[in-house]
Structure 1
């Protein structure tokens, strides 16, 4: 699952904790300063990927969290 517009201080641990309530999280990748930088603003781009153990779990998280700040 692709996450856009997340807090620049988001970590793998915080996202795993949030998304674990919707299913088994297999992995989280947060685009950090070292990986993806907005070169104009000199900060992380604010996106991440979460991998669930099933499509159903990912869909549940998407339905409940889509568009929330």
Structure 2
């Protein structure tokens, strides 16, 4: 099991895990941007930083499977 994880990490950093690495980077950046914007909006709205970070992290994390659903592996 750990060997599979290590192998996937090595392939990812070599750029050989996904068929279109550019799409992976775009989708990751999109998810991070949505999370960051949501965090800033919640803090500006008056939410405590810890609560805003928790909510933004939960929503951003829940968004990742949707963003990554059409990625193709090699």
TM-score where L is the length of structure 2: 0.28
TM-score where L is the length of structure 1: 0.30
Highest relative contact order (Cα 8 Å, sep 6+), 1 or 2? 2
Q: Which has the higher strand share?
A: 1
Q: Which has the higher helix share?
A: 2
